[in-house]
Amino acid sequence: MNWVALIVAGVFEIGWPLGLKMAQQPQGSKVGWIVVALMSMAISGSLLFYAQKTIPMGTAYAVWTGLGAVGTLLVGILFFGDSATIMRLLSACLIVAGIIGLKIF
Q: Which domain holds residue 66?
A: 2-104
Domains in the chain, number: 1
Q: What is the pLDDT of residues 14-42, one digit of tens each?
A: 999 999 999 999 987 899 999 999 999 99
Residue 75 confidence (pLDDT): 98
Residue 85 CB: number of other CB atoms within 10 A? 9
Q: Are 64 and 6 in contact (CB under 8 A)?
A: yes
Residue 48 confidence (pLDDT): 98
Q: What is the pLDDT of residues 46-85, one digit of tens each?
A: 999 999 999 999 999 999 999 999 999 999 999 999 999 9
Does pTM surpass 0.85? yes
